Structure 1
Amino acid sequence: MSDEKKILVTIDGSKRSKRTIDYICSFKPFRDRKITLFNITTPVPEAYYDLTRDAFSNISVSQVKAWEMGQKTIITEFLKEARQKMIAAGYKADNIDIKLVDQSKGVARGILEEIKNNEYQSLVIRRKGRDNSILSVAMGGVAAKLVEKADFIPLIIAGTREIRHYQCVAVDGSPGGMRAVRYTADMMANTNCRILLCSIMRTTVTDSATQGKDPFADLALWAHDKLNSALFEAKEILTQAGIPEDRIETRIVQGAQSRAGALLDTARATQCDTIVMGRRGMSDVESFDMGRIPRKIIYASRKFTIWLIP
């Protein structure tokens, strides 16, 4: 495995993908990483080339070929402009690659193949692209497939909130949650970014609660203690990565009716720009289930940037 920490960024030339480049430019910790700007172009279906039987069809085919070349020229120029914008934002020119490939399979499958054939550390997508784009990463389409299938790589879903370098990291005491903390520590190492370590409880534990009288109260106390221990461990991981202790806050939210809703409310109230979650919860066994908490967060948090960590 290469020590280079490469990030694959899928863009399609749309206004939304321009906002992805804005995100990449604004998020300072990425500037020391290797970035590949990636696009899959749409070929014209082979059936169009069967129109060569008469002179009129020959004219049509030439127009189709010209359209193909025009589309490649447009996206190539877009990629070059994006690269120049990143350089102006502080990226080293040698750290930015451009990759334009023709579609041969499904879009999501093509992206997954690109990841598996190269040593990328993270994948950046948007919830939506332009409607007629081959990289139209709309939830329910390509993005939804990548959320489901790209379960072996940290997935970054770029949002539209202003980047304040303030992450809300969900901590639940699970191995997956701790992997999310370690990924955050790696990304934010030796920076002055702010991090909120947030744990959510459905129950409420009072300061006067005592053990041994009520089994349900005992269970709540046990859960509270476990979350406190997880938060302490998470803070240690972050401080060891060079993040100042006074830039890290820990919080347990109690009595939540919805864990996803409480996490979103906390992130909004504290004006975080990014929510970081483990792909798997306490079981750490089953693959990511689109019906569970991460899915709710992704669909309900349109403006937040989401980091989903395997």
Structure 2
Amino acid sequence: MSDRKKILVTLDGSKRSERSVDYLCRFKPFRNRKVTLFNITTPVPEAYYDLTQDFFSKIAVPQVKAWEMAQKTIMTEFLEEARRKIIAAGYAPDNIELKLITREKGIARGIFNEIKNNEYHGLVIRRRGSANSIIGVTMGGVAAKLVEKADFIPLMIAGTREIQHYLCIAVDGSPGSRRATQYTADMMGKTNCRILLCAIMRSTVPDSASEGKAPLVDMPLQAKRRLNEAMAEAEQILTEAGISKDRIKARLIQGAQSRAGALLDTARTAKCDTIVMGRKGVSNLNNFDLGRIPRKIIFASRKFTIWLIP
């Protein structure tokens, strides 16, 4: 996979969007890739220009146009400042592109169109933007739409935990989990990152247990064996990408009441900063764009950075 593939980063000029810039500065593997800093500005509605038909409102039209131009100027300056910061953090100037476009329909739809018309290897967003300042709201409307529907590109939801380059990969043996591991290997290969492979099962199986006793005993044993095999396969993918074996740990959690809760607790205890998941798990239901466990993790983990891999 070429390091020349681009990462699309959505910015809206808010304080939260400044944290996205900080994330780019701190996350070293992105420094070898092209990055597009992207914003969609909202123009003044056409109805405002109907004021030209009203003699007493004509004075307002130049003011509206001036506001519109001022907003574009402010956002352009924000993108330029973001570019300067990430270049100072070690990015090559030629790898940084600024793109400011005018909103035609919805913000989320504009982001989808940008992705579909260009070759991007990942999309970086935040849980909330400038328009959503309601206390207690976990995710803004645009972010929620992207999480639900952006099933054709790796999605990175930037968090606030300090970047330690310690990633927790949810492993369950599904194709989505394998793709998540492969994406991590492509991004983090030949770096000094640390990886925690985490597999979770509801039942508990003693190490001394053996198969062939009864179906209710054999099923948990088989599940445990499959998860151990999946973690061994994930470790091989990572080591082949250049990640040192001594920087990879594997952990099988048994007897979990909630798999999402157990994954979060494990990542917190290990002090990981990023959780990596496939969009769907073993069930892989076609009627849903996002699996149940990834959905719970995203809405319950405000501080973690989440990588959601299709």
TM-score over 0.5 (shorter chain): yes
What is the CA–CA distance in structure 2 between the aligned matches of 1:45 and 1:206, rounded to whole Å?
66
Alignment match, 1:60: 60
Change (3 A) 1:165 1:2: closer
1:5 CA displacement: 1.3
The amino acid across from 2:40 in the alignment is: I
Change (3 A) 1:291 1:184: closer
1:169–1:276 CA contact under 8 A, matched in 2: yes
Alignment match, 1:210: 210
1:55 CA displacement: 4.2
What is the CA–CA distance in structure 1 between the aligned matches of 2:188 and 2:279, rounded to whole Å?
19
Alignment match, 2:21: 21
Equivalent runs, 1:1-310 vs 2, <5 Å:
4-131=4-131, 139-286=139-286, 288-290=288-290, 292-310=292-310
| Paired residue secondary structure (2:72) | helix
| Paired residue secondary structure (2:59) | helix
Higher mean C-alpha deviation, range 299-308 or range 124-133: 124-133
| CA displacement 1:128-171 (0-9 Å, x = unmatched) | 011279xxx97251111111111010000000000000000000
| Paired residue secondary structure (2:197) | strand
Change (3 A) 1:2 1:170: closer
1:4 CA displacement: 2.7
1:199–1:253 CA contact under 8 A, matched in 2: yes
The amino acid across from 1:309 in the alignment is: I
- Seq. identity, %: 73
1:53 CA displacement: 2.6
| Paired residue secondary structure (1:40) | strand
Aligned residues: 307
| CA displacement 1:78-120 (0-9 Å, x = unmatched) | 0000000000000000000000000001111100000000000
Change (3 A) 1:255 1:132: closer
2:281–2:291 CA contact under 8 A, matched in 1: no
Higher mean C-alpha deviation, range 3-12 or range 174-183: 3-12
RMSD: 1.7
Change (3 A) 1:132 1:163: closer
Change (3 A) 1:16 1:185: same
| Paired residue secondary structure (1:52) | helix
1:159–1:306 CA contact under 8 A, matched in 2: yes
The amino acid across from 2:176 in the alignment is: G
1:215 CA displacement: 1.5
What is the CA–CA distance in structure 1 between the aligned matches of 2:2 and 2:45, rounded to whole Å?
38
The amino acid across from 2:304 in the alignment is: F
What is the CA–CA distance in structure 2 between the aligned matches of 1:291 and 1:220, rounded to whole Å?
22
1:151–1:288 CA contact under 8 A, matched in 2: no
Change (3 A) 1:289 1:16: same
Structure 1, unaligned runs of 5 or more: none
Higher mean C-alpha deviation, range 170-179 or range 124-133: 124-133
What is the CA–CA distance in structure 1 between the aligned matches of 2:202 and 2:110, rounded to whole Å?
41
1:285 CA displacement: 4.8
